[in-house]
Amino acid sequence: MNDIYTIFGNGGDLTIWQMSARSFAMFFISLFLIRVGGARMFGKRSSFDDIIVIMLGAILSRGVVGANPFWATVAASAVMIAIHRSLAWICIKSKYLETIIKGKSTILYEHNQINYINMEKYSLSKTDLLQSLHLETKKNTLDDIETAFIETNGRISFIMKKTKDL
């Protein structure tokens, strides 16, 4: 047991080598927790997923620097992953809870008109909408756009008008 305290230290008074050993161990623990948590944590980039990433980083760092006990930090992180996975599963089963937990996309442009009420809700200007239009569709005007949405991850998506075949 003394060898573990020698390698990993105890409390916040850690040597450079003890903090390095904690970092090494926490890297692999973090990797394992992220694999258990699933790819969606980093793939979807929604506020629901960003919360777990931010909190996981904040919690795990406390174990590295000795601000909290190492294994208590790992346990708290595992609980965060379990909560995230459970809420994601619940959202699959219930559209109502999915809307509450993750939000829903909102129409910004439809029927050749910008919905300025929704734009204001999300603090977006017409310039912001057009900038996303350029980046997403390589178009300069909304003429070819049927509908534009702000998605739950904050990105603006565009549905093109159907073209008539000649």
Question: Could you read off the pLDDT of 135-166 as tens digits, one per residue?
Answer: 999 999 999 999 999 998 889 999 999 876 55
* Dist CA 19 CA 59 (whole Å): 15
Do 119 and 96 fall into the same domain? no
Do 74 and 135 fall into the same domain? no
Phi, psi of 86 (to 5 degrees): -65, -45
- Residue 165 has a pLDDT of 56
Burial class from Cβ neighbours inside 10 Å (0-12, 13-18, 19+) for residue 87 reads middle
In total, how many domains does the chain have? 2
Q: Which residues pair with 107 in a beta bridge?
A: 149
* Dist CA 80 CA 49 (whole Å): 11
Do 96 and 112 fall into the same domain? no
166 DSSP assignment: -
Do 34 and 17 fall into the same domain? yes
Percent of the chain with pLDDT over 90: 58
The boundaries of the domain holding residue 131 are 105-160
In a domain, 166, yes or no: no
Domain final residue pick, 69, 85, 100: 100
In a domain, 76, yes or no: yes
Domain final residue pick, 100, 115, 135: 100
User: Measuring CA to CA, how many Å separate 9 from each of 23, 71, 106?
Assistant: 12, 13, 51
Task: Give per-residue pLDDT as tens, 100-124.
Answer: 988 899 999 999 999 999 999 999 9
In a domain, 73, yes or no: yes
Task: Give per-residue pLDDT as tens, 24-80.
Answer: 999 999 999 988 887 766 666 677 788 888 999 999 999 999 888 888 999 999 999
